[in-house]
Amino acid sequence: MKILRTIPEVREAVGEARAKQRTVGLVPTMGAFHEGHLSLMRRARQENDLVVVSLFVNPTQFAPNEDLSTYPRDEARDAAQAEAEGVDILFAPAPDEVYPHGFATSIHVAGITDVLDGASRGAHHFDGVATVVTKLFGIVRPDVAYFGQKDAQQVLVVRRVVRDLDLDVRIEACPIVREVDGLAMSSRNVYLDPAARQQATALNRALDAAQALHDGGERDAGSIRIAALKVFKDAGIHPEYLELRDAETLEPVADTTRDTLIAVAARVGAARLIDNHLLKGDA
Ligand code: PAF
């Protein structure tokens, strides 16, 4: 596996593969790999000739009060894990390679970024994501890019950018990978002390409660939400948001007859965690 730091190096390496008609898969990441990231790399490895993983803790998607400076970073460990998954290129640029002096462009997706994490973290968050992901697509020019469904809203934002800007890349969303007790894997789980780690299981338990009601035939979004909120109350957690929204448009829903995303964000101990389930509609 090659570790590359500059855009021209990546262009050259990918260009050589393209010249031989090889397919290119990209896994965009911010490092601190866990099984979720590795599952994306495995999928990319199965489906492409050349696999590129980007490792870049993107400053523009963090608000000033967020955890940019403390975000877990261990490039040597990440590189070893990526290599073990058969990744061909790890693109790990410095911030000024991605955002050189005078950088002035930002991509804003309207509408779907106003709610959930967009409302909770601020508009800059998805602008930062959309901008850096579009840059990565421009640098690597992958055939396919792989994202985790844990960031369900991010997947919708990226799909919208690709559609609206006619970018020639296929987006694959891969299933959430969970710990044995159901906690969704996240680089931020390292912030949890043992008590908070235990408390954090409430996120998936609440979503499971919602899922069980839906699977049992309940379709009223309000009743499903109340059942999930009860799990949080019992766990002593006050979610930042817990919402049921149309899985495509993120419009609020009154019932779950169409595919519905139930999404949650909550502060647990020192971590801000998110999770979601897809409630399959009747159609
Ligand atoms: O999901 C992430 O890790 C990041 O938001 C991404 C897609 C790599 C963009 O910085």
The encoded tokens of residue 87 equal: 């990744």
Q: How far is the CA of 202 from the centre of ligand 1 (A)?
A: 25
Q: Model's pTM, two decimal places?
A: 0.98
Is residue 50 over pLDDT 80? yes
Mean pLDDT along residues 44-53: 98
Is the CB of 133 within 6 Å of ligand 1?
Answer: yes
Residues 6+ apart with CB under 8 A from 52: 10, 14, 24, 25, 26, 27, 87, 88, 89, 90, 91, 140, 142
Q: Which of 34, 37, 101, 124 is catalytic?
A: 37
Alpha helices in 73-220 (DSSP H): 75-84, 95-98, 117-121, 123-140, 152-164, 194-199, 201-215
Q: How far is the CA of 226 from the centre of ligand 1 (A)?
A: 31
Dump pLDDT digits (tens) for 57-104.
Answer: 999 999 999 999 999 999 999 999 999 999 999 999 999 999 999 999
Mutate which of 137, 154, 162, 177 for ligand 1? The one with the most ligand atoms within 8 Å of its CB, which is 154
The encoded tokens of residue 161 equal: 């950018």
Domain regions of the chain by residue span? 2-174, 187-278
Dump pLDDT digits (tens) for 229-244.
Answer: 999 999 999 999 999 9
Dump pLDDT digits (tens) for 162-219.
Answer: 999 999 999 999 999 999 999 999 999 999 999 999 999 999 999 999 999 999 999 9
Is residue 123 over pLDDT 90? no
Which DSSP string corresponds to 244-263? Answer: EEETTT--B-SB-SS-EEEE
Is the CB of 28 within 6 Å of ligand 1?
Answer: yes
CATH value of 187-278 in 3.40.50.2000, 3.40.50.300, 3.30.1480.10, 3.30.1300.10: 3.30.1300.10
Average pLDDT, the chain: 98
Dihedral of alpha carbons 152, 153, 156, 162, sign: negative
Write down the architecture of domain 2-174 according to CATH: 3-Layer(aba) Sandwich (3.40)
Mean pLDDT along residues 279-283: 93
User: Which residue minimizes the CA distance to atom 2 of ligand 1?
Assistant: 29
pLDDT confidence of residue 115:
98
What percentage of the chain has pLDDT greater than the value 70? 100
Residues 6+ apart with CB under 8 A from 282: 219, 257, 258
Is residue 283 over pLDDT 80? no
> Bridge-partner residues for 220, per DSSP?
255
User: Which residue minimizes the CA distance to atom 8 of ligand 1?
Assistant: 29
Number of neighbours of residue 83 by Cβ within 10 angstroms: 14
Dump pLDDT digits (tens) for 195-210.
Answer: 999 999 999 999 999 9
Task: Compute the radius of gyration of the chain from its Cα atoms.
Answer: 19
Is the CB of 156 within 6 Å of ligand 1?
Answer: no
Is the CB of 10 within 6 Å of ligand 1?
Answer: no
The letter for the amino acid at 104 is A
**Exposure of 216 in the CB half-sphere (CA atoms within 13 A):** 10
pLDDT confidence of residue 197:
98
Quickly tell me which residue has 């779907």 as its tokens. 112
Q: How far is the CA of 190 from the centre of ligand 1 (A)?
A: 18
pLDDT confidence of residue 43:
98
Q: Which of 121, 101, 95, 3 shows the shortest CA–CA distance to 52? A: 3
pLDDT confidence of residue 96:
98
Residue 37 annotated among the catalytic residues of the structure: yes
230/264 Cα distance (integer angstroms): 13
Dump pLDDT digits (tens) for 27-44.
Answer: 999 999 999 999 999 999
Number of neighbours of residue 95 by Cβ within 10 angstroms: 12
Is residue 257 over pLDDT 80? yes
> Bridge-partner residues for 279, per DSSP?
260
Q: How far is the CA of 30 from the centre of ligand 1 (A)?
A: 6
Ligand 1 closest atom vs CA 58: 10
Residues 6+ apart with CB under 8 A from 253: 221, 244, 245, 246, 260
